[in-house]
Structure 1
Amino acid sequence: MSEEAATTQHLLAITLPEGVVPHSPYAQADREQAVADLLSGNRFDPAGLPAGPYRLHLDLREGRLWLDIRDAADRPLHGLALSLSPFRRLVKDYRMVVEAHEAAVTADSHDSRVQTLDMGRRGLHDEGAALLRERLDGKVATDEQTARRLFTLICALHSRV
């Protein structure tokens, strides 16, 4: 990738649908951190579209993840729908681990329990990011960190289903 492409092929904004309210303050903080981290550095390179940067509107529609890719002026460029079926187990497991982690931190559990849950969460993030990159292959190129943060947002969207 050229140096110019490396600086333009990224997300400058991400929008989630109105009414996506995380089930806890911990989940809200997780979502906000994912968005902040995503916008501070990411690689998002949709195949066949003009050079970025891009705005991404994420939503769930009819059981699918909808990626509405737009230009910097928020004009629609391309819509991409991905089946959520391959993500269902990971999203369910991720939510269970996040809830257990939140409960452990709130209950001031032993550091070893919190660390174990955090390792499990990281493992699910890795698996979710790899699956997302696989599902986006040939459509949108991302780096691992971008995919991890997008997976967090997929889980946040799923919480309203």
Structure 2
Amino acid sequence: MAEAQTTGSGRLIDVELDETIGRATPDVEHERNVAIFDLVEENLFNPVGAPEGAKFRLKLSLVDKRLVFDIRDEAGGTLVTHILSLTPFRKVIRDYFMICDSYYEAIRSATPQQIEAIDMGRRGIHNDGSQTLMERLEGKIEVDLDTARRLFTLICVLNWRS
């Protein structure tokens, strides 16, 4: 799979998840916190038609089993909302949940070699989900692979909670 070419320099300065669906387990909440911190620290996020170098605020939510990207400007003014079907993500999210469960269990009782093998599988599935996200955002929002990976983590967190 080819990586998307990145041309712009827009970036996220704030990311929020819909909190109305409740909190998740401590492991999942840790993943959320790390993903948001890393995402705000370093990202490439260019909604189509946005000015070069613009800064954005993003709220991710699930509404009627659809993924909602509510994109706002730096001051919080509404710019655009993109709604994506979760159907293309269902299998990869389900596979990711299963391997994450195995990973968290392995951390508690498995050998380092077993943990590493599970983690390699987990990263592979995560990359698949990230590529799917980049494809689904094509023509709407330009992101690089690292940004897509962190956003995919947050999409999984939303699904864990719901």
TM above 0.5: yes
Pairwise CA distance, 1:49? 2.6
Aligned twin of 1:128: 129
User: Any idea what the Cα deviations from partners look like across 1:50-99, whole Å, max 9, x if unmatched?
Assistant: 45200000000011100000001111100000000000111111111111
Pairwise CA distance, 1:27? 1.4
Aligned twin of 1:105: 107
Aligned twin of 1:149: 150
User: Any idea what the Cα deviations from partners look like across 1:118-148, whole Å, max 9, x if unmatched?
Assistant: 1011101110110000000011000000000
Alignment of 1:1-161 (within 5 A): 5-6=8-9, 9-19=10-20, 20-22=22-24, 24-51=25-52, 52-107=54-109, 109-161=110-162
CA distance in 1, matches of 2:94, 2:148: 18
Letter of the 2:82 counterpart = L
RMSD, aligned α-carbons: 1.4
More RCO (CA 8 Å, sep 6+) = 2
Among the aligned pairs, what percent are the same residue? 40
Letter of the 1:10 counterpart = R
Pairwise CA distance, 1:25? 1.4
User: Any idea what the Cα deviations from partners look like across 1:25-63, whole Å, max 9, x if unmatched?
Assistant: 111111111111111100000001345200000000011
Structure 1 segments of 4+ aligned residues over 6 angstroms from their partners:
none
Letter of the 1:93 counterpart = D
CA distance in 1, matches of 2:36, 2:117: 25
Pairwise CA distance, 1:160? 2.2
Q: Structure 2, unaligned stretches of length 5 or more? A: 1-5
TM-score, with structure 2 as normaliser = 0.91
Length, aligned pairs only: 155
Q: Structure 1, unaligned stretches of length 5 or more? A: none
TM-score, with structure 1 as normaliser = 0.91
